[in-house]
Amino acid sequence: DVKVTQSSRYLVKRTGEKVFLECVQDMDHENMFWYRQDPGLGLRLIYFSYDVKMKEKGDIPEGYSVSREKKERFSLILESASTNQTSMYLCASSLDPSGPNTGELFFGEGSRLTVL
């Protein structure tokens, strides 16, 4: 089974702190994604990566950056956390090298971040 592991399930940070969210997948997937989930808004794409050291902006990249130094690991960075970044963050991976058009994304369990 594909496993996507997010290092922190729950985090509480203060405004202005730097936050790292780590994600590791064990199925040699090319593509990795970071989403945030907010009530009524569904899942919104922050950043994605098709390959090591490659990154592309999603729909809501402002206030975030990412790093993909190894194929299995994709990190989301909040340089200076703000209260409007309080959310559930979901990492996902997929195999299709041309993107997720054939469907299936494999998600981690999520990281719930609270910024005070």
Partner 1 sequence: DQQVKQNSPSLSVQEGRISILNCDYTNSMFDYFLWYKKYPAEGPTFLISISSIKDKNEDGRFTVFLNKSAKHLSLHIVPSQPGDSAVYFCAASGENAGNMLTFGGGTRLMVKP
Residue closer to partner 1, measured from CB, 19 or 92:
92
Q: Under the criterion CB under 8 A, does residue 84 sit at the interface with partner 1? A: no
Closest CB 90 distance from partner 1, rounded Å: 6
Judged by CB under 8 A, which of 26, 28, 79, 104 binds partner 1?
Answer: 104
Kindly state the DSSP code that residue 97 receives in the 8-state scheme: T
Residue 100 binds partner 1 (CB under 8 A): yes
Q: Is residue 42 part of the contact set for partner 1 (CB under 8 A)?
A: yes
Residue whose structure tokens are 């209260």: 83
Residue 107 is a binding residue for partner 1 (CB under 8 A): yes
3-class DSSP assignment, residue 29? coil
